[in-house]
Amino acid sequence: MHARAAIVALAIACSGAGLATACSSDEASTSAPLDVAEGGTGNDAASALPQTCARGARSTEKPATCNGDAALCTRTYDRVVVPMTHNAMSDADEGWTPPNQTHGIARQLADGVRGMMLDLHYYDVEAEANATGHIDDKSAVDQVYLCHGVCALGRTRLLDGLCTITTFLDEHPGEVFSIIFENDVADADTDEVLRASGLADYAYTHPKGAPWPTLRELVDTGKRLVVFLEQNGGSPAYLHRGYTDEMWDTPYSFMNASEFTCALGRGAKANTLFLVNHWLGRPFADIALAREVNTAQVLGDRVAQCTTDAGRAPTFVSVDFYDVGDLFGVVRKANGL
- Output the CA–CA distances (angstroms, integers) from residue 73 to 62, 63, 217, 219, 220, in the order listed: 13, 10, 8, 9, 10
- pLDDT attached to residue 36: 38
pTM: 0.89
- pLDDT attached to residue 6: 55
Mean predicted confidence (pLDDT) in 203-224: 97
Residue 53 lies inside a defined structural domain of this protein: no
3-class secondary structure, 186: coil
Residue 145 lies inside a defined structural domain of this protein: yes
Q: How far is CA 8 from the centre of its chain?
A: 21
In the DSSP assignment, the letter for residue 203 is B
What domain count does the chain have? 1
Residue 96 lies inside a defined structural domain of this protein: yes
List beta partners, residue 247: 273
Residue 137 lies inside a defined structural domain of this protein: yes
Confidence at 11, pLDDT banded by 50, 70, 90? low
Task: For residue 35, report the phi and psi dihedrals to the nearest 5 degrees.
Answer: -65, -40
Mean predicted confidence (pLDDT) in 108-121: 98
Judged against a pLDDT cut of 50, whether residue 45 lies above it is answered with no
Question: By the 8 A CB rule, do 237 and 210 touch?
Answer: no
Residue 38 lies inside a defined structural domain of this protein: no
In whole numbers, what is the pLDDT of the chain averaged over residues? 89
Residue spans of alpha helices (H) in the chain = 4-15, 32-37, 105-111, 158-171, 187-197, 215-221, 287-293, 296-310, 327-334
Mean predicted confidence (pLDDT) in 204-224: 97
Strand positions, DSSP E, the chain:
82-85, 115-124, 129-130, 144-147, 155-157, 177-183, 225-229, 239-241, 247-249, 273-278, 316-319
Least confident range of 22-36, 142-156, 164-178, 314-328: 22-36
Residue 250 lies inside a defined structural domain of this protein: yes
Mean predicted confidence (pLDDT) in 225-245: 97
Give the range of the structural domain holding residue 318, as residue numbers without chain letter: 4-15+64-334
Question: By the 8 A CB rule, do 89 and 152 touch?
Answer: no
List beta partners, residue 255: none
3-class secondary structure, 84: strand
Say which residues have a Cβ less than 8 Å from residue 5's Cβ, sequence separation at least 6: none
Mean predicted confidence (pLDDT) in 36-59: 65
Confidence at 20, pLDDT banded by 50, 70, 90? very low
| CATH number for position 173 | 3.20.20.190
Mean predicted confidence (pLDDT) in 171-189: 98
Mean predicted confidence (pLDDT) in 304-326: 98
Confidence at 19, pLDDT banded by 50, 70, 90? very low
Least confident range of 42-56, 228-242, 267-281, 321-335: 42-56
Residue 27 lies inside a defined structural domain of this protein: no
Confidence at 23, pLDDT banded by 50, 70, 90? very low
- pLDDT attached to residue 48: 73
Least confident range of 7-11, 66-70, 256-260: 7-11
- pLDDT attached to residue 38: 42
Residue 257 lies inside a defined structural domain of this protein: yes
Judged against a pLDDT cut of 60, whether residue 230 lies above it is answered with yes
